[in-house]
Amino acid sequence: MTSSLASPTAAAGPVPDVSVVPPVWGRITNLVVDRGEGSWLITTDGERYLDYSSGIGVTNTGHAHPRVVAAIQAQAAKILHAQQNIAYHEPGLRLYERLRHVLPGDGWGAFLSNSGAEAVEASIKLARIATGRPVIIGFRYGYHGRTGQTMALTTAKDVYRGHFEPLPGSIYHTAYPYCYRWPGGAHAPDASCVCDWEAQLDLTFHQYVYPEHVAAVIVEPVLGEGGYLVPPPAFLPRLREITRQHGILLIADEVQTGFGRTGELFAVRHWDVEPDILVMAKGIASGLPLSGIVAQRSLIDRLPPGSHGGTYGGNVVACAAANATLDVIEDEGLVANARERGAQFLAGLRALAPKYRSIGDIRGLGLMLALEFIKPGEGDGRVPNPDLTKRVQAEALARRLIVLTAGTYVNVIRIIPPLVTTADEVELALRTLDESLTAAGP
């Protein structure tokens, strides 16, 4: 039999069975989607789902925002691929210029690539070449991607790294202030926080690595995949001080927290912290593959021509989408909406809590929200309850609300609405979650 791309099912004809997709893509739903509109996904059967996954934190402007779609269509009709080493293009030049101003202050520059992991890789290469130091420190529970080095930095769950040893070396992990699960007891992530992350970092400097060998510390300002952890207010400012003291660069991985998600354009702004390198992806282009870093231009220029790059980085259509995305975020006040809808959602979740003993913790910043489930009355009162978490997610899906899970023990429901979501949609999601919690049982 000869192989052929022109099979009867190539572009027309019956849609192939979903089994053509390999199982490595762990499934969240079995929906076959036809289109998206704002906060909604519409299946090929015409059913509407409230998408509070935002395609894993990507569609900040909502699905298929007309201005983003128009920019993509207009650009696609002109040229699809204007490779960065070969030519400059207007959408890219505009975007490079705009990204110089996403952090306060002057002198910033950008580098563009395709995925979050690829941008994290760029940040690590830059930190190493700029400092001449080998070691990178990450945080436990952190998630930075699934390429070689980003996998080595990731400790959110063993599935992301456990099958792939040996992993790249000179990467060490230290404690993130996970206030609910701190060994000394659960407490609020406020000024009275008793997490001893700073002592743990000091221990890392005395047990694993000399601080003068550390090129960078990479941190998620609000930790994502590992459980949606909001740190206490002193954490990032103090981490900034410590890294400066030792000449260590601070990399803020804002792949998930960026572009308005937490109620600031970038989460570091909540604490007025200036990172040396900001990593961005997801929300940048409303769904087209694009990522990048922002750092002082004098730092970025330490990467000699050819030492980093990629065929597709800074794709022209993706850059056009990113420019339109930034326009929409600005013109429609989406950062403020993330703040307001986030406060509404968090208050609504907190009002539900007294009805459900299995809710151990409720937390969030802007439209990055989470419910952590426990087995009431067992152990120290914080025993993770992944079965219930799965049931709540399934009950929500049965009621046409899409939410994701997170956390090392997969006992966290994470809620990531698009930043265009309305007050009515938030109320609908809260009612649906209430019903789903009741239906999921104890």
Give the whole-angstrom CA distance, residue 285 versus residue 393: 28
Residue nearest to ligand PLP (CB): 116
Residue (224 or 292) nearer to ligand PLP, CB: 224
Is residue 267 involved in binding ligand PLP (CB under 6 A)? no
Q: Which of the stretches 14-22, 128-136, 163-171, 250-258 binds ligand PLP when contact is defined by CB under 6 A?
A: 250-258
Of positions 65, 133, 144, 181, contacts ligand PLP by CB under 6 A: 144
Which 38-67 residues touch ligand PLP, going by CB under 6 A? 56
Q: Helix (H, G, I), strand (E, B), or coil: what is residue 84?
A: coil
Mark the segment that binds ligand PLP (CB under 6 A) among 41-49, 105-113, 220-228, 404-412.
220-228
Longest dimension (CA), the chain: 70
Question: What is the DSSP annotation of 389-423?
Answer: HHHHHHHHHHTTEE-EEESTTS-EEEE---TT--H
Task: Give whichever of 214 and 368 is closer to ligand PLP, judged by the CB atom.
Answer: 368
Contact 411, 374 (CB under 8 A): yes
Give whichever of 259 and 356 is closer to ligand PLP, judged by the CB atom. 259
Which residues ranging from 63 to 122 are in contact with ligand PLP (CB under 6 A)?
115-117, 120
CA quadruple 49, 54, 55, 56: dihedral sign: negative
- In the complex, least distance from residue 348 CB atom to ligand PLP, rounded to whole angstroms: 25
Closest distance of CB 156 from ligand PLP, Å: 9
Among 51, 89, 110, 220, binds ligand PLP (CB under 6 A): 220
| 239/374 with CB nearer ligand PLP | 239
| 281 touching ligand PLP, by CB under 6 A | yes
Residue 408 in contact with ligand PLP, rule: CB under 6 A: no
For residue 375, the minimal CB distance to ligand PLP (Å) is 28
Contact with ligand PLP (CB under 6 A): which of 95, 255, 346, 426? Answer: 255
Shortest Cβ 123–ligand PLP spacing (Å): 10
In DSSP notation, 230-244 reads PPPTTHHHHHHHHHH
- Of the pair 113, 421, the CB lying nearest ligand PLP is at 113
Q: Counting Cβ atoms within 10 Å, is residue 75 exposed (0-12), middle (13-18) or buried (19+)?
A: buried
CB of 367 to ligand PLP, least distance (A): 15
Token duo for residue 317: 């259509």
Sheet holding 359-365, edge to edge: 359-365, 368-373, 412-415, 404-406
- Taking contact as CB under 6 A, which single stretch among the options 93-101, 140-148, 159-167, 204-212 is the one that binds ligand PLP? 140-148
Q: Pick between residue 59 and residue 385 the one whose CB is nearest to ligand PLP.
A: 59
Please, which residue, 256 or 296, has the CB nearer to ligand PLP?
256
Q: Under the criterion CB under 6 A, does residue 143 sit at the interface with ligand PLP?
A: yes
> What is the full DSSP assignment across 27-58?
-S----EEEEEBTEEEETT--EEEETTHHHHT
Cβ nearer to ligand PLP, comparing 256 with 436: 256
CA atoms of 354 and 178, how far apart (whole Å)? 22
Residue 370, interface with ligand PLP (CB under 6 A)? no
Closest contact distance (angstroms) between CB of 181 and ligand PLP is: 19
Binding residues with ligand PLP: total (CB under 6 A): 15
CA dihedral 304, 305, 311, 315 (to 10 degrees): 90
E strand or H helix that includes residue 137? strand 135-139
Rounded Cα gap, residues 118 and 78, in angstroms: 27
Q: β-pairing, 412-415 with 368-373? A: antiparallel
State phi, psi for 132 to the nearest 5 degrees: 70, 20
Beta strands 401-402 and 214-219, pairing class: unpaired
Q: With respect to ligand PLP, which residue has the nearer C-beta, 281 or 430?
A: 281
Under the rule (CB under 6 A), what is the footprint of ligand PLP? 56, 115-117, 120, 143-145, 220, 224-225, 253, 255-256, 281
